[in-house]
Amino acid sequence: MEETARAEKKAEREKKRRRVQMVRKIKVGAGLCIGLAVLLYLLSAFVFFKVESIEVIGTPDENGESLPGSSYYSSEEIVRVSGVNTGDSLVLVSKKNTKDSIEKLLPYIGNVKVQRKYPSTLRLVVEDTSAVYALDAGGGYTILNEEYKVLSVTEKMPLGSAKIVGISVVNAEIGTIAEFTDEAYKTRLDTIREKFKKSGITDITKINVENIANVSITINGRFTFILGTLTQLEEKLSMASKTMETEIANNPDARIIIDVKDPERSYVRDDYSPVENEYESEENNSEIPENNDEPVMDDIPEDVPEAVG
């Protein structure tokens, strides 16, 4: 019996010893794997994968063909403000910092995708944005895109933008999202934009929400819809659209006021108010306004924040 007990204890000790050895081997192996992974990462970050070229392209078209980079900025400008330089570690390039830097310092670029193309290329896929709203700022305009990003501050409105009356901002720093004095303003613009897109009515040239109980919207500088409140907006736009088509057929050159405060009927009268002509000329429309505060090649600070790390 004693010999059997001693044999069992010995076997148990041997079993524990083998288990401890196995655990040690596993720990050593795991440590070696982790060490090797860290070594490979450090080598790839600081030795192997360096930025040798930075490509700037536009977003692919429907056929997958790459379009030119930007209509507003040269590839050199875009690379300069990216914060990335040749010789930087491709692994350590911060996609977010690079994207944020370009979109803020070059506001007419609406979206940037940063792609690493190993072993040595950084690709910047840029997409331009355009002026949608021109907030009347008294003597000038704060120009916003569809997402309310501040593009510029100008004396004249860019072609294709809609003059906004009755909305103000507390912060209009170029390259950032505008902060409205009242978030209800943004909600109203969102509602108007959504309903007009749904109706198919385009070429909005003026939105007046100075009196929220008597909103008016001008189309193509010629047809002013008197909407009253923004309730039943779809029905009001449907009625206004039908009336506008009739008026165009009867008098193609007329300036008309269409009152659709009652969505079931419209009231039409001639518009004798002075014609507003506050847009830039066709020749200047393709260029960024000269009197805005956007950085151009010579104005971009030398100490652009690094977009690595």
Q: Please report the pLDDT score of residue 69 as a whole number.
A: 85
- For residue 6, being part of any structural domain is answered with no
- For residue 180, being part of any structural domain is answered with yes
Mean pLDDT, the chain, integer: 83
Q: Please report the pLDDT score of residue 234 as a whole number.
A: 95
Q: How far apart are CA 109 and CA 172, in angstroms?
A: 17
Range of the domain at 150: 133-285
Give the β-pairing of 204-208 and 256-259: unpaired
Answer yes or no: do 65 and 187 share one domain: no
Map residue 45 onto helix, strand or coil. Answer: helix
Map residue 111 onto helix, strand or coil. Answer: strand
Ordered per-residue pLDDT tens for the chain, 309 residues:
666 666 666 667 666 766 766 767 676 666 665 665 554 454 444 556 899 999 999 987 777 676 778 999 999 999 999 999 999 999 889 999 999 999 999 999 999 999 999 999 999 999 999 999 999 887 889 999 999 999 999 999 999 999 999 998 988 899 999 999 998 999 999 999 999 999 999 999 999 999 999 999 999 999 999 999 999 999 999 999 999 999 988 888 889 999 999 999 999 999 988 887 777 765 555 455 444 444 444 444 444 444 444
Q: How far apart are CA 213 and CA 264, in angstroms?
A: 18
Answer yes or no: do 99 and 142 share one domain: no
Map residue 131 onto helix, strand or coil. Answer: coil
Q: Which helix (H) or strand (E) holds 34?
A: helix 2-43
* DSSP state string for 146-205: TT-BEEEEESSBPTT-EEEES--EEE--TTSB-EESSHHHHHHHHHHHHHHHHHT---EE
Answer yes or no: do 176 and 279 share one domain: yes
Answer yes or no: do 98 and 181 share one domain: no
Q: Which of 160, 132, 127, 158 is nearest to 144 (CA)?
A: 132
Q: Which CATH number fits the domain that encloses residue 101?
A: 3.10.20.310
Answer yes or no: do 184 and 243 share one domain: yes
Answer yes or no: do 185 and 167 share one domain: yes
Answer yes or no: do 172 and 227 share one domain: yes
Q: pTM for this structure?
A: 0.75
User: Measured between alpha carbons, how far is residue 250 from residues 9, 120, 245 in Å?
Assistant: 109, 64, 9
Q: Is 64 exposed, middle or buried (0-12, 13-18, 19+ CB in 10 A)?
A: exposed
Tokens of 278: 């506050």
Q: Which CATH number fits the domain that encloses residue 144?
A: 3.40.50.11690
Number of Cβ atoms within 10 Å of the Cβ of 47: 9
Q: Are 195 and 207 in contact (CB under 8 A)?
A: no
**Sheet with 121-128, side-by-side order of all strands:** 53-58, 121-128, 109-117
Tokens of 241: 């659209």
